[in-house]
Amino acid sequence: MIQKPRISALLTGMALALGLAGCTYYQTAPGVYAPAPSAFERSFSAAVGAMEDEGVQIVNLDRAAGKASGTRGGISVTATVQPQADTGVRVEFNTSGNTAADPTLINRITSRYNQRMGR
């Protein structure tokens, strides 16, 4: 005949074993996840993409210096991306040349940049 304390211990042991069997450990698959791009990389790519979205033909691309420049219909466009001390990034667009031919170009580029950055 089995004593009550032994039955209790046996049932407790079985409950513990079943409880642990229900636990799942998820491990990330190796080589599947890439690190997120840095704020600089994301901003630089968005700036270049915004210029291209508005028909600016990129003629100079210097990622290390954070500068991209191009032209569209006699207007020169320059994007400058500078890392800041607070880990932020400063992005600036400038136009020169025949800006009277398309006075809203810089506003459209800025708008496209903001869209690409999710703003």
pTM, 2 dp: 0.70
Which residues does residue 68 pair with via DSSP β-bridges, in sequence order?
61, 79
The pLDDT assigned to 28 comes to 63
Sheet holding 57-62, edge to edge: 57-62, 67-72, 75-83, 89-97
The pLDDT assigned to 20 comes to 58
Domains and CATH numbers, the chain: 39-116 (3.30.310.80)
- Which residue from 113, 119, 115 is spatially nearest to 44, judged by alpha carbons? 113
Maximum Cα interatomic distance, the chain, rounded to a whole number of Å: 102
Q: What is the DSSP letter of 94?
A: E
pLDDT tens, residue by residue, 72-98: 999 999 999 999 998 899 999 999 999
The pLDDT assigned to 29 comes to 65
DSSP 18-75: HHHHT-----PPTTTPPPPPPHHHHHHHHHHHHHHHTTPEEEEEETTTTEEEEEETTE
